[in-house]
Amino acid sequence: MATDLETTFANAGLPLPPLPVELAAGCQPWGEWTFGTRQPESRLYEIEAYVAHALRKPEETFLFLGHDGYGTNNWHLHYFVNCEELAVFLQTSWGGAFSSEEESRAVVGHLFQLIQQLLSFRGTLKSRCPDKKLVIIHSEVGSSRWGWFAKTPLEDSDVGVWEFDDAPLTAAIRESHSLA
């Protein structure tokens, strides 16, 4: 894992995000507040581009972390991970002029704990649902949702089945518990 990532999060008073072991070693800095296993193809704020990529190329693993936004208050912390059996896309407020740093820090810490729980279910997901991938999007900008998708690439015309939920991480954890 890049030391710059540790320093960046520590300086911001944030906990380190949960990193899948197989992706952590390849995580490197791509900008002042952007880290990933490869150079991002678009701004992290464009979360749907990363979701679409994960659904079109489910076998291609990646990890992206960063801070991106615009204006005075539309700034978000981004965490995108695409593994074989699980994909998580997080976009939560961080660093806006009118946001409370203390409250944002607590929310980020809580969301990272939920993601860690989901990552701990990867073995169960792999054994119980070998042909499917659990995809979760938690966004404070767009729609939050989760769903099961085949591990085969989706075409632009394909439509998956999404469960829309205000708390998609918690819903996905409940779903994962039901498999155990």
Position 133 scores a pLDDT of: 92
Helix, strand or coil, per DSSP, at residue 48:
helix
Position 79 scores a pLDDT of: 97
* CB of 115 closer than 8 Å to CB of 82: no
CA atoms of 81 and 67, how far apart (whole Å): 15
Strand 132-139 to strand 86-93: parallel, antiparallel, or no bridges (unpaired)?
parallel
What b/e string do you get for 149-158 counting C-beta neighbours within 10 Å, with b at 16 or more? beeeebeeee
Give the residue ranges of the chain where pLDDT is below 70.
1-3, 73, 95-99, 156-160
Task: Show Cβ contacts of residue 4 under 8 Å, excluding neighbours closer than 6 positions.
Answer: 29, 35
What burial class does residue 4 get, using C-beta atoms within 10 Å of its C-beta: 0-12 exposed, 13-18 middle, 19+ buried? Answer: middle
What burial class does residue 91 get, using C-beta atoms within 10 Å of its C-beta: 0-12 exposed, 13-18 middle, 19+ buried? Answer: buried
Position 98 scores a pLDDT of: 67
Position 1 scores a pLDDT of: 46
Helical H segments across 36-167, by residue range: 47-56, 101-120, 122-128
pTM: 0.91
Owning domain of residue 27: 3-179
Total domains in the fold of the chain: 1
The DSSP 8-state label assigned to residue 16 in this structure reads: P
Of the candidates 117, 71, 87, the one whose C-alpha atom is nearest the C-alpha of residue 79 is 87
